């Protein structure tokens, strides 16, 4: 890496300003967000007056001529470029000479921060909000699963978890980390087949969404307190946690049992079926949701979070900065023996000094969804109506000609 960029490798818990601005394309590297094996993650800016974006996140190879790192960075760029969805970061540019990519930068909190603030008693996460969050994530994964990636297969995330979900100040949810190379996966968010060494599939992403829902509702990860974490992960033994959620909210029982079925063949076979099940459960339970207010509350309490949730390095997260937290005590975690799909060496979450963000006043609460739940998604209804209209126009044209 160029000598004009100073990385504070011995102090990974502090975001580091770049002493001498290095330019990559139109962007000047402004701050080191973190570093890992082969790459470094930066916040970068471009001069105002030029075309937007004015702030991006950049992943840069430490050694631009390393072919493996270069290929991984290009693969991440191609995957992000293939997708165009507000729930997924946008790729702005690939710079082969520097082996770097620029992508969307997001302020705000992570879903991990939301769960920690809830566990610390600083905020309340209602069941309707938990379901709404998972529905938003399911929309994001549904979009990704509908697109063919550069390898010829449908795009899957494969290492999703609360730390890879951004909650922005306006209440939007963004899934980060698509296409980047993870060092490992946390067992709580890993489907049994992936832990056994099989490649990640859309059904594996679905399992992770179920695991996130359990944690949002119970405030507890899957397998916490399990006598043998390795064995439980490989078997997908989550009956205890599913039963606890079902006892509190019977409307969610069937959907959650399907999402967390140990055999991927028994999970929802199509993404729209998953969405319908969650929407139906949400309408039966009722309640209001205001993610903008939730984001404001979590960010207001960022400096009061008392514990660190061991997660992955921000380089694996793909983008953005976690919420600011005080210097933490390391939380002890199980350290299971290595499994094919898991990394036993957990890293603690890195608390960054995030800039203050101005949050607009929260809008009026969203009213409860109607009951009964519709049998079809709005997109499906719109498609059927449009098809019928085109058919009618075709017949009308034929009759006019005759």
209 within 8 A of 138, measured Cβ to Cβ: yes
Listed in sequence order, the DSSP H helices in 260-342 are 271-285, 291-300, 314-317
**Which position has the token pair 């036993």?**
344
pLDDT of 209 reads 98
Which of 7, 10, 14, 9 is CA-nearest to residue 351? 14
Q: Which residues contact 178 (CB under 8 A, 6 or more apart)?
A: 76, 79, 80, 83, 88, 89, 144, 155, 157, 318
Alpha-carbon distance of 378 to 359, in angstroms, equals 31
233 within 8 A of 195, measured Cβ to Cβ: yes
pLDDT of 13 reads 32
Q: Is 85 left (phi over 0), alpha (psi -120 to 50) or beta?
A: beta
- Tally of residues, the chain: 402
User: Residue ranges of the chain with pLDDT lower than 50?
Assistant: 1-14, 308, 310-338, 343-375
Range 145-158 burial, b when 16+ CB lie within 10 A, else e? beeebeeeeebbbb
Q: Give the pLDDT confidence of 163-202 residue by residue, as tens digits.
A: 999 999 999 999 998 988 777 789 999 999 999 999 999 9
pLDDT of 67 reads 94
Alpha-carbon distance of 320 to 301, in angstroms, equals 19
For domain 16-104, give its CATH number from 3.40.50.720, 3.30.200.20, 2.40.50.100, 1.10.1660.10: 3.30.200.20
228 within 8 A of 206, measured Cβ to Cβ: no
Q: Within the chain, which residue ranges are assigned CATH 1.10.510.10?
A: 109-317
pLDDT of 215 reads 97
Question: Which CATH superfamily is 109-317 part of?
Answer: Transferase(Phosphotransferase) domain 1 (1.10.510.10)
- What is the number of other CB atoms lying within 10 angstroms of the CB of residue 67? 9
- What is the number of other CB atoms lying within 10 angstroms of the CB of residue 118? 20
331 within 8 A of 310, measured Cβ to Cβ: yes
pTM for this one? 0.75
DSSP label of 328: P
pLDDT of 188 reads 95
Alpha carbon distances (Å) from 376 to 78, 116, 269, 381: 33, 35, 16, 7
Q: Within the chain, which residue ranges are assigned CATH 3.30.200.20?
A: 16-104
């Amino acid at each position: 890496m160029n000598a004009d960029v100073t990385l504070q490798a011995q102090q990974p818990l502090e975001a580091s300003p770049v002493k001498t601005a290095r330019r990559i394309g139109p962007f000047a590297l402004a701050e080191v967000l973190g570093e890992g094996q082969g790459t470094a993650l930066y916040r970068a800016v471009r001069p105002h007056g030029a075309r937007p974006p004015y702030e991006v996140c950049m992943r840069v190879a430490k050694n631009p001529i390393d072919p493996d790192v270069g290929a991984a960075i290009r693969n991440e760029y191609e995957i992000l470029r293939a997708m165009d969805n507000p729930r997924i970061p946008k790729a702005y540019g690939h710079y082969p000479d520097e082996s770097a990519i620029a992508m969307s930068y997001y302020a705000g909190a992570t879903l991990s921060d939301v769960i920690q603030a809830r566990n610390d008693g600083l905020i309340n996460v209602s069941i309707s909000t938990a379901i709404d969050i998972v529905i938003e994530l399911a929309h994001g994964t549904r979009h990704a699963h509908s697109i063919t990636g550069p390898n010829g297969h449908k795009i899957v995330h494969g290492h999703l978890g609360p730390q890879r979900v951004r909650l922005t100040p306006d209440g939007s949810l963004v899934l980060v980390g698509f296409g980047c190379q993870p060092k490992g996966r946390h067992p709580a968010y890993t489907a049994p087949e992936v832990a056994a060494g099989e490649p990640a599939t859309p059904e594996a992403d679905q399992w992770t969404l179920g695991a996130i829902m359990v944690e949002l509702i119970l405030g507890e990860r899957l397998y916490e307190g399990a006598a043998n974490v390795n064995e439980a992960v490989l078997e997908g033994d989550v009956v205890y946690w599913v039963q606890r959620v079902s006892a509190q909210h019977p409307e969610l029982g069937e959907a959650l049992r399907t999402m967390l079925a140990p055999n991927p063949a028994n999970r929802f076979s199509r993404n729209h079926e998953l969405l319908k099940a969650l929407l139906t459960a949400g309408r039966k339970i009722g309640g209001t949701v205001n993610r903008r207010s939730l984001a404001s509350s979590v960010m207001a309490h960022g400096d009061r979070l008392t514990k660190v949730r061991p997660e992955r390095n921000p380089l694996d997260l793909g983008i953005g900065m976690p919420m600011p937290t005080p210097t933490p005590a390391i939380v002890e975690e199980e350290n299971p023996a290595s499994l094919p799909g898991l990394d036993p060496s957990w890293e603690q979450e890195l608390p960054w000094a995030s800039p203050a963000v101005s949050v607009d006043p929260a809008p009026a609460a969203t009213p409860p969804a109607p009951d009964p739940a519709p049998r079809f998604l709005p997109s499906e209804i719109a498609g059927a109506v449009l098809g019928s209209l085109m058919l009618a126009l075709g017949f009308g044209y034929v009759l006019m000609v005759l």
